[in-house]
Amino acid sequence: MTKNKIALITGANKGIGLETARQLARQNIVVLIGARDLDKGKTAAESLVEEDLDARPIEIDVTQQNSIRQAAAQVEQEFGRLDILINNAGVMLDDPKKKLSEQSLDVWRRTFETNLFGLIATTQAFLPLLRKSDTGRIVNLSSILGSITLHATPGSPIYDFKTVAYDVSKSAVNAYTVHLAYELKDSKVKVNAAHPGWVKTELGGEGATMEITEGAKTSVALATIGDEGPSGAYIHLGQTLPW
């Protein structure tokens, strides 16, 4: 068994997830590159190994319960614990050609299947392993677009940006984060929600202003916070966001 911390990042074969893995691995953390497609996970892990970083692929599809169970069993067998879980996998499926009131129920269901239900299922499966860590950390990738306060405030940075299924799924992630933090308040496990920023990724789309290296910083910081750090918080680059 390694004495180094073990981190699992879902959706880590590209974008913010891969950069998060890179930054954690530079801190001598063993990073498990979670990917639905194992071949893509292997390719991503190999790119980090070429940088002399300890990265290993693991197949996990957060929309498939069997895949999650198998991944949890693999981590338990190989390491016996998990120190960091970063629920990074996410989708934005809203049709920009339709009004928010016209988004199909299929879009709603598929969005929530990954962004909320998949996140919860993954957390439930790995929580027993996180409880075995002396410094268990859960980071739920949220978004400023999950802030109900800012959506309801004219003149806020997001007031005129409404991707309804995605936004509401992230609001639900925020609520789950608060509830789980309450359950875990007397344990060594901390859970927080991270807004990475408007990052230049496939999901970020045209007009994004932040580089991927910056976008990973909030997740990395929350994954490595000390015992004095927050739990149940909604953070972007060290700043608390309004719910």
Average the pLDDT over 199-226 and give the result: 78
Average the pLDDT over 2-6 and give the result: 90
Cβ-in-10-Å burial (0-12, 13-18, 19+) of 152 comes to exposed
CB atoms within 10 A of CB 225: 17
Closest CA to 85 of 98, 96, 71, 97: 71
Measured in whole angstroms, the distance separating CA 203 from the mean position of its chain's CA atoms is 14
| Average pLDDT in the chain | 94
For residue 72, the SS3 value is helix
Q: Which pLDDT tens digit goes with each residue over 10-45? A: 999 999 999 999 999 999 999 999 999 999 999 999
Q: What is the pTM of this model?
A: 0.95
Q: Which pLDDT tens digit goes with each residue over 115-144? A: 999 999 999 999 999 999 999 999 999 999
Catalytic residues: 166, 170
Q: Which pLDDT tens digit goes with each residue over 87-119? A: 999 999 999 999 999 999 999 999 999 999 999
Distances (CA, A) of 183 to 165, 214, 218: 27, 31, 23
Residue ranges per domain, the chain? 6-240
- Would the pLDDT of 201 be above 90? no
Residue with token string 């929350």: 222
Contact 153, 159 (CB under 8 A): yes
Question: For the domain with range 6-240, which CATH number is right: 3.40.50.720, 3.40.50.12780, 3.40.50.300, 3.40.50.620?
Answer: 3.40.50.720
Distances (CA, A) of 75 to 68, 117, 122: 11, 21, 13
The most distant pair of C-alpha atoms in the chain lies apart, rounded to whole Å, by: 53
> Identity (one letter) of the amino acid at 85?
L
Question: What pLDDT does 214 receive?
Answer: 85
